[in-house]
Structure 1
Amino acid sequence: MTAFARAFRLHTPDGERYDGSVYPSGRCLIDHRERGLATAWISLQALKDDNPGALIEWADGTEEQL
């Protein structure tokens, strides 16, 4: 069975919110809609390391403090 990407919203300490997803490969992508850009990380851990104090709100309603 093929795995699906997992959607989340990243809440930064300065109040910004970004939609993102984690892919079965482990890579993460954040969409910067207002700027027309996207940022990618090699792993969820790399995203966490670059965003201390942020909060991940998973699409299923659970949260994870970074």
Structure 2
Amino acid sequence: MSTFARPFRVHLRHGQAYEGAQFPSGLVVVLEDPEYGLVVSAADVDALLRGYGGGHLEWPDPSTSTEP
């Protein structure tokens, strides 16, 4: 696994979408409200989706990555 955080977008069942990142340890964080800095974290992707009651993740295309 990369030594950098991997960005993703989580799409919830009710249509809302949030930006997030997965760290090398598996920990994930999602920014729910950028104005107030409200974030959600979970031990891994499965726990995150369980906590949200479902949804799916959209990972960026690796060919467009700006990672060194």
- TM bucket, shorter chain: 0.7 to 0.9
Distance (whole Å) between structure 1 residues aligned to residue 36 and residue 55 of structure 2: 20
* Higher strand proportion: 1
Paired positions, count: 60
Aligned residue for 2:55?
A: 54
Alignment match, 2:66:
none
**Which structure 1 segments of 5+ residues have no match?**
62-66
- The list of structure 1 runs, each at least 4 consecutive aligned residues, that deviate by more than 4 angstroms after superposition, is none
Q: Percent identity?
A: 35
- In angstroms, what is the RMSD of aligned CA positions? 1.9
Normalising by structure 2, report the TM-score.
0.73
Alignment-derived partner of residue 41 in structure 1:
42
Structure 2 stretches lacking a partner, 5+ long = 63-68
Query: Which of 1 and 2 has greater Rg?
Result: 2
Q: Which amino acid aligns with 1:48?
A: L
Structure with higher helix content: 2
TM-score by length of 1: 0.75
